[in-house]
A and B are shown apart, each in its own frame.
Chain A
């Protein structure tokens, strides 16, 4: 198992590199560079441009050097010093700005995964075991709607309903009265009460996909001979189903985390923007709109790397869950 973990970690290096290239590309894409934008910004505010400061910035980012040197400086700063560059909009280090937001985003994504699984597993099993029942059709229908509705639309609907029927204006993870207080039980409960709606909205599409995947897999597995064997032993029906076909159907299910995760991160960004949650989403959008590219690039890099880590965890989870994969990979090493 340790060899497997090491090998997977090793595999991640080229992908990490590719993600950093993409993030750097996003930084470089807009016309002009950081400096020209910065100078334009300063002149727009009517401020004079300090030549020595410009020299210092040019030096820092190597703006007059070839593009790959710029890349090396950028990524070197991140890897060696945790320096993601400067946000000209906030006049602060990017690393000061992102980590709080990233933390909340990760918490939101994790909560969404837990909730999606908690909903998808029982519903998926029910739909497969009671195929063609009324419940099956109802869940399938809801799943299709959930899949077809953009989650920002769901978020907007939620905002509208909360406002029109409950007179509440939604937004924010921490209610104003707890904004400055330290973490305590009240604040945690407050956060939970504010989070359940975003979590459900972000998770809708993912949950719908997971239910469909689990249902289809389980339907396949239920017809396999080993299920008959288990029944022929005299096991009660629920134990037959939970121990054997569900266990088998979970393998492809677990491997879906890998690609459900990017959707969840994306959905989190969209929903956070609509509900103005203090996560990466709104800040990323703002940074992109203002061409605050080091900030935007940092978000894309961090979100990409986190998704990659999530995928790695799902791979390892799968190896732990399914002895066939564990053994096949152990033999490869």
Chain B
């Protein structure tokens, strides 16, 4: 009897997968950590709604060529700063009821003095819209040639400006949709880079402690004490103009993540330090687990949820930083389309006053950041299922 117990205990702790698989996750006591987090997160209504928004944005980003009514470079000199069109469904102009999505075209007059175009709605010019229509040809993901759009004008020759046009008569909606891909992906790639830096440096700092910890802590404090925007500006200004769009994209991402890793490193270090003192880590060590096994099997799983939460919360910071840099003309350069690049259009009072819809990419930034923040907060709140 006396030695049965320890044997049994070793059996269960040696193969934790067995118990996790064996027990149906019905009872809360046996549910896995991720399931508990999920259960808590599901109760978080705001976080769930925001998660839906984030998923939608991600889908738009992935399939932007298909989602956009036209391509971002498709310009029309006759539609400079054309205002947004109202979407109509019911048309009674023909005498009888005519259903179908449509907008009305413009009558434009050029002001002789200012050379600006004045637009009025021309209800006789009906532009019919439809789903899965043929339109401007594009290459899906730059590879597959196609010309079907999620929605657009029935007649490929017509144009639709649901969110207005920029100064070259390009469709703002299409440009914002394309910008989603670049802006979101720069957030993701940037966060992935900071993740590597943050987890490695934070983990090293927290696990080894002592002098290493002290040094990395000083490094973090230093990085955090520099005003980020001027530094970002300084570093991005050094990116040569001759570089292609892709190189610039990566250079900017690297610059963003060079400064953005500190938060994550602090979280990881803090968790490491507190976990080191936990009884179960001590128990694992006493059971004879090696250092890497203790980290991988016992420590990492118990703070991945915290890492996921901080990752989610860093993406919006990256998006904000990218849009700020690109807005200043120091980040991504046209013809690359990101929300920040689009905001360059709104830099002077004349374009804002004449075409306030050029501010819309900023609204896209706000929506994305807000949604990501809510999701991140939700995950963080649910991250401690044993609280």
Q: Do A and B come from one complex?
A: yes
Q: How far is the CB of A37 from chain B (nearest CB, A)?
A: 13
> Which of the residues B234, B240, B366, B373 comes within 8 Å of A26, measured between beta carbons?
B234
Beta-carbon contact of A296 and B366 below 8 Å: no
Beta-carbon contact of B231 and A149 below 8 Å: no
Beta-carbon contact of B226 and A19 below 8 Å: yes
> Which of the residues A29, A150, A164 comes within 8 Å of B353, measured between beta carbons?
A164
When A26-B238, A291-B237, A296-B234 are in contact, do A267 and B366 touch as well, CB less than 8 Å?
no
For A147, give the chain B residue with the smallest CB separation.
B373
Beta-carbon contact of B226 and A259 below 8 Å: no
Which bracket fits the contact residues of A? 35 or more
> Which of the residues B233, B320, B323, B370 comes within 8 Å of A285, measured between beta carbons?
B233
Q: How far is the CB of B217 from chain A (nearest CB, A)?
A: 12
Q: B352 at interface (Cβ–Cβ under 8 A)?
A: yes
Q: How far is the CB of A25 from chain B (nearest CB, A)?
A: 8
Beta-carbon contact of B228 and A156 below 8 Å: no
Beta-carbon contact of A145 and B366 below 8 Å: yes
Q: A304 at interface (Cβ–Cβ under 8 A)?
A: yes
For A169, give the chain B residue with the smallest CB separation.
B349
Most chain B C-beta atoms within 10 Å of own C-beta, residue among A144, A148, A169, A262: A148
Q: How far is the CB of B265 from chain A (nearest CB, A)?
A: 14
Most chain A C-beta atoms within 10 Å of own C-beta, residue among B222, B234, B316: B234
Q: A226 at interface (Cβ–Cβ under 8 A)?
A: no
Beta-carbon contact of A150 and B323 below 8 Å: yes
Beta-carbon contact of A289 and B323 below 8 Å: no
Which one of B15-23, B98-106, B275-283, B327-335 is at the interface?
B327-335
When A31-B240, A152-B324 are in contact, do A304 and B356 touch as well, CB less than 8 Å?
no
For A258, give the chain B residue with the smallest CB separation.
B225
When A148-B316, A289-B237, A289-B329 are in contact, do A267 and B229 touch as well, CB less than 8 Å?
yes
> Which of the residues B235, B240, B316, B362 comes within 8 Å of A153, measured between beta carbons?
B362
Q: A252 at interface (Cβ–Cβ under 8 A)?
A: no
Bound form: Cα–Cα A144–B367 in Å: 11
Q: A46 at interface (Cβ–Cβ under 8 A)?
A: no
Report B-chain residues with C-beta under 8 Å of the C-beta of A270: 229, 324, 328
Most chain B C-beta atoms within 10 Å of own C-beta, residue among A150, A274, A304: A150
Q: How far is the CB of A66 from chain B (nearest CB, A)?
A: 21
Which chain B residues (316-362) contact chain A, with CB distance < 8 Å?
316, 320, 323-324, 327-330, 343, 346-347, 349, 352-353, 356, 359, 362
In terms of DSSP, what is the predominant structure of the interface of chain A?
A: helix
Beta-carbon contact of B230 and A156 below 8 Å: no
When A26-B238, A144-B374 are in contact, do A269 and B230 touch as well, CB less than 8 Å?
yes
Q: B224 at interface (Cβ–Cβ under 8 A)?
A: yes
> Which of the residues B231, B237, B238, B327 comes within 8 Å of A152, measured between beta carbons?
B327
> Which of the residues A23, A266, A273, A296 comes within 8 Å of B237, measured between beta carbons?
A296
Beta-carbon contact of A288 and B330 below 8 Å: yes
Beta-carbon contact of B370 and A144 below 8 Å: yes
Q: A316 at interface (Cβ–Cβ under 8 A)?
A: no
Bound form: Cα–Cα A267–B229 in Å: 8
Report A-chain residues with C-beta under 8 Å of the C-beta of B323: 150
Which chain A residues (225-269) contact chain B, with CB distance < 8 Å?
258-259, 261-263, 265-267, 269
Bound form: Cα–Cα A18–B224 in Å: 12
For A280, give the chain B residue with the smallest CB separation.
B230
Q: How far is the CB of A113 from chain B (nearest CB, A)?
A: 14
Q: How far is the CB of A257 from chain B (nearest CB, A)?
A: 11
Q: A329 at interface (Cβ–Cβ under 8 A)?
A: no
Q: B369 at interface (Cβ–Cβ under 8 A)?
A: yes
Beta-carbon contact of B329 and A299 below 8 Å: no
Beta-carbon contact of A14 and B238 below 8 Å: no
For A162, give the chain B residue with the smallest CB separation.
B349
When A148-B366, A148-B369, A160-B352 are in contact, do A153 and B234 touch as well, CB less than 8 Å?
no
Q: B139 at interface (Cβ–Cβ under 8 A)?
A: no
Beta-carbon contact of B226 and A163 below 8 Å: no
Q: B110 at interface (Cβ–Cβ under 8 A)?
A: no
Which chain B residues (211-235) contact chain A, with CB distance < 8 Å?
218, 221-222, 224-231, 233-235
> Which of the residues B228, B238, B320 comes within 8 Å of A30, measured between beta carbons?
B238
Q: B365 at interface (Cβ–Cβ under 8 A)?
A: yes
Q: How far is the CB of B343 from chain A (nearest CB, A)?
A: 7
For A153, give the chain B residue with the smallest CB separation.
B362
Report A-chain residues with C-beta under 8 Å of the C-beta of B356: 160, 164
Report B-chain residues with C-beta under 8 Å of the C-beta of A288: 233-234, 237, 330
Beta-carbon contact of A303 and B237 below 8 Å: no
When A26-B235, A26-B238, A152-B324 are in contact, do A266 and B352 touch as well, CB less than 8 Å?
no
Most chain A C-beta atoms within 10 Å of own C-beta, residue among B225, B227, B230, B365: B230
Beta-carbon contact of B353 and A308 below 8 Å: no
Query: Other than the known A30-B240, A304-B231, what 8 A-B pairs have Cβ atoms closer than 8 Å?
Result: A144-B374, A148-B369, A148-B373, A156-B352, A270-B324, A303-B227, A304-B226, A304-B227
The 27 sampled A-B contact pairs (Cβ below 8 Å) are A15-B218, A15-B222, A26-B237, A29-B238, A144-B374, A145-B366, A148-B365, A148-B373, A149-B362, A149-B365, A149-B366, A150-B323, A156-B359, A157-B359, A160-B359, A163-B349, A163-B352, A258-B224, A262-B224, A262-B226, A262-B227, A266-B227, A269-B229, A270-B328, A285-B328, A289-B237, A303-B227
B: residues with CB less than 8 A from A are 218, 221-222, 224-231, 233-235, 237-238, 240, 316, 320, 323-324, 327-330, 343, 346-347, 349, 352-353, 356, 359, 362, 365-367, 369-370, 373-374
A: residues with CB less than 8 A from B are 14-15, 18-19, 22-23, 26, 29-31, 144-145, 147-150, 152-153, 156-157, 159-160, 163-164, 169, 258-259, 261-263, 265-267, 269-270, 273-274, 280, 284-285, 288-289, 291, 296-297, 299-300, 303-304, 307-308, 311
List the 7 closest A-B pairs by CB distance, nearest first: A266-B229, A29-B238, A26-B234, A288-B237, A153-B362, A265-B227, A148-B369
